[in-house]
Structure 1
C-alpha cells in the first residue's frame, strides 16, 4: 500500500469521528455572547434617563454671624475656634458695669417722674382754686363796672372812676384766662383727670420704656448661641471693643443639606420628594440617602450681581445650572462627619425612563414644579 493511500485512509477515519467538545463550546459562546450583550444593551436602553446625576454639588449649612447688640469692651470669651456649642451656651460677655449704671439711672428717673406727676396733681388742685378765685374777682369787677357806668351817665362820678373800673375788669379777665391755661396744662399732664393712675400717664410710661430698654441692653451684655452649631474662624479676645452690630464670630449650624447644581437638561423628570443618593468626596464608597426637598425658581446666574444680558451683542447658548436642595438622612452615617463646603456627587432616582417603553410605563405624570420653602 502506497503512502498516498495511507493518507486517504487516515483522512476518512478523522472525518468519521464525532466533533470535539472544544468546537461545540466555541459555537455556544458565539451564540450566547451576543445574546448577553444584547440583553445588557436592552436593559440600559429601557432604563435610560431614570437617574439624574451631577458632581457639581456641595454640602451646605446655615451660618449665623454673631454680632454685638450693645457697644462695650469684651471682658470674657467663653468659646474658641471650631468648638461645638448648644443653643443658649455663653459665647462672650461685654462689660456690664456701664449698662448696670444706666439701669440704676433710669430707676432713679422713674422715681423722680412719679414725684413730679404726683406734684402735678397738687398743681392741678391749686390751679382749680386759683381759677375759681379769679372768676369770682372778674364777676365782682364786672358788676362794679356796670354801677360806675350808670353813675357816670348821671354825672355823679368822674371819668377817672369809670376808667379805673374798666381797667380792673380787664386785669381780672387776664388773670382768669391765665389760671384757666394753667389748669388745662395740669389736666393734660395728668391724662385729663386728676385721679388718673400713675402707670397710665404718658410721662411715666416713657421713663418705664426707657428702663425696659436699659434692662434689655444689660441682658445683651451676655451673648449666647442662638442655635446648635460649631464656632468658625474667630479672632475675638478679651479687651476688644465692639460696636453695635459689629461681627464677632461665625456660627455654623448643625443642620446640613446638599445643594446640587444640575444642568437644566437633566431636570426634565426631577420632582420634589424623589429619592437620591449622595457620595461625598471625603468618604469615597459611603452613600447617604437623601430626598429632593426643593428646586430653585431660577438658575444660579439669575441671582448673580450682574445677570447675563442675552439680548445684546453676540449670543452663545450655554446650558444653565439650576440649584436643587436635597435633605440628608444622617441616621446611618457610620460616625462620619459632614462639613459645610465638602464636594459631593448626587444621583436622583426619577423613576421615569426616556425610552419609548419608559414613556408608556412611567407612573409619575409631569407636574409644574415650584420652589419650596426650607
Structure 2
C-alpha cells in the first residue's frame, strides 16, 4: 500500500477504534450497574432475613430423652412370676413381677404374735399396779400393828425395869432371896428382847411398804400416761407388724408410672436381693428433648421460650411444640469421661455445644409417640416469653 492509501485509510480506522472503545465503556458501565444491583438485592435479602429469621435459633443436634424409672426389688426372695416383657406398655399400679411371699407371711404371723404378747404384758402391768397398791395398803396396816406391838413391848419393858429396880434394892438389904432377884432380872431381859423384836417387826413392815411402793412406781412408769395402744412396747411391736405387712406387699412389684418396659433382666426362679435392678419403665408420654445448641446461639435463649420440633421418625409433616425448661450445668466436653486438656500448647478452639432441655407437649406425644434416643430438629423462638 502506498503512502497516499495509508493516509486515506486512517480516518476510517480511527473512527472504528473510537466506536469500539465507546461500546466497551458502555458494557463496563452496564456490568457495574448489574453488580451494584446484585449487592443491593443481597443487602435487602440479608436485612429481611435478619428481621424475619433473626428471632429464632435452630439445630439438628437434638435427641429425645426421658426420666426413666428403675424397677428394683425392696425384699429378697425367689422370683415366682414375671408378668411383663420388653416393649410391653403398662399402667401405673400394674403388677410386673411376684416374689415368693411365704417367708413374708411367716414374718407377719410372728409380728402379730409379738404384738399380742405386748398387749397382754400391758394388761398384766395394769393388774400389777392394782396388786401393788393393795400390798401398800396391807403394809400400812402391818406398820400400824407393829407400832402398837412396839409400844406394848416398851410399856412391858418399863414395868420390868421398875420391878427390877425394886428387887435390886430389896436384894441389897437381904429382904428377898437371890432366886427372886434373878427372876426379876430375867423378866427385864425378856422385856428388852420383846422391844427389840417389836422394833424389828416394825422395820420389816416399813421395808415391805417401801419395796411395794418402789415396785408400784416402777410399774406405773411403764404405763403412765399411756393406753394399751400407745405404750412403748406395743408401739414397737406394731411397727414390726407394719414392716412385715409392708414387706409382704412388696413381694408384688408394681409399676410406679405409665410407660413401656425396657431392659428387663428378671427371670422366673431367679433369687433377687434388695436393690437389684429388674427392669426399666420409660414414660413415653412425659418425654423431653435435649437440643445441643452452639454457644454462639444461646445469647437470646431463655427459659420459658417456645420451641418447634420435628422428628426424623415422622418427617417435617408432623410438628411438636415445647417449652425451654432449663440449661445443662456444663457442655458435653466438660462432662466427658476424659475432658479436653485445653492448657496444652497444641490447643485449637472448638465451638462448644450446651444442652438445652425442651419439654414436649404430652397431648402431641399421645397422637405421635416418640422413643428415647430419636433424632430431632429443634427451633427456639427467641422472641417469645422474654
Could you say whether these structures have the same fold, taking a TM-score greater than 0.5 normalized by the shorter chain as the test?
yes
In structure 1, the gaps of 5 or more residues are 1-7, 9-22, 353-363, 366-374
1:173 equivalent among 187, 196, 206: 206
Separation in structure 2 between the aligned mates of residue 166 and residue 216 of structure 1, nearest angstrom: 63
Go from structure 1 to structure 2 and tell me whether the alpha carbon gap of 1:42 and 1:209 turns closer, same or farther (over 3 Å shift).
Answer: closer
Residue range with higher mean Cα deviation, 83-92 or 173-182: 173-182
Structure 1 residue 264, shift from structure 2 partner: 3.1
Equivalence map 1:188-337=2 (5 Å): 188-192=221-225, 197-254=227-284, 255-296=286-327, 298-300=329-331, 304=335, 320-329=352-361, 331=363, 336-337=368-369
Greater CA radius of gyration, 1 or 2? Answer: 2
Q: Deviations over 1:148-187 (max 9, x none)?
A: 4565567364343333233223222221121112222332
* Partner residue in 2 for 1:340: 372
Asked if 2 retains the 8 angstrom alpha-carbon contact of 1:99 and 1:217, the reply is yes
Q: Per the alignment, do residues 88 and 334 of structure 1 end up closer, same or farther by CA in structure 2, a change over 3 Å counting?
A: closer
RMSD: 3.7
How far apart are the structure 1 equivalents of 2:50 and 2:283?
43
List gaps (5 residues or longer) in structure 2: 1-11, 13-26, 163-187
In structure 2, the residue matched to 1:63 is 68
Aligned partner (choices 115, 119, 130) of residue 110 of structure 1: 115
Aligned partner of residue 213 in structure 2, secondary structure? helix
Tell me how far apart the structure 2 counterparts of residues 190 and 160 of structure 1 sit (CA, whole Å).
Answer: 45
Instruction: Select between 197-206 and 330-339 the one with higher mean Cα deviation.
Output: 330-339
Secondary structure of 2:316's match?
A: coil
Verify the 8 A CA contact 2:89 2:260 in the aligned structure 1.
Answer: yes
- The total of aligned residue pairs comes to 328
The CA deviation string for residues 120-145 of structure 1, in whole angstroms up to 9 with x for no partner, is 33222221111111222123323433
- Give the C-alpha shift of residue 114 in structure 1: 3.1
Deviation sequence 1:312-334 (CA, Å, 0-9, x none): 88796765543322122465579
TM-score of the two chains, using structure 1 as the length reference = 0.74
Structure 2 match to 1:355: none
* TM-score, scaled relative to structure 2: 0.72
Task: Give secondary structure in 1 for the equivalent of 2:308.
Answer: strand
Q: 1:60: Cα distance to partner?
A: 0.7
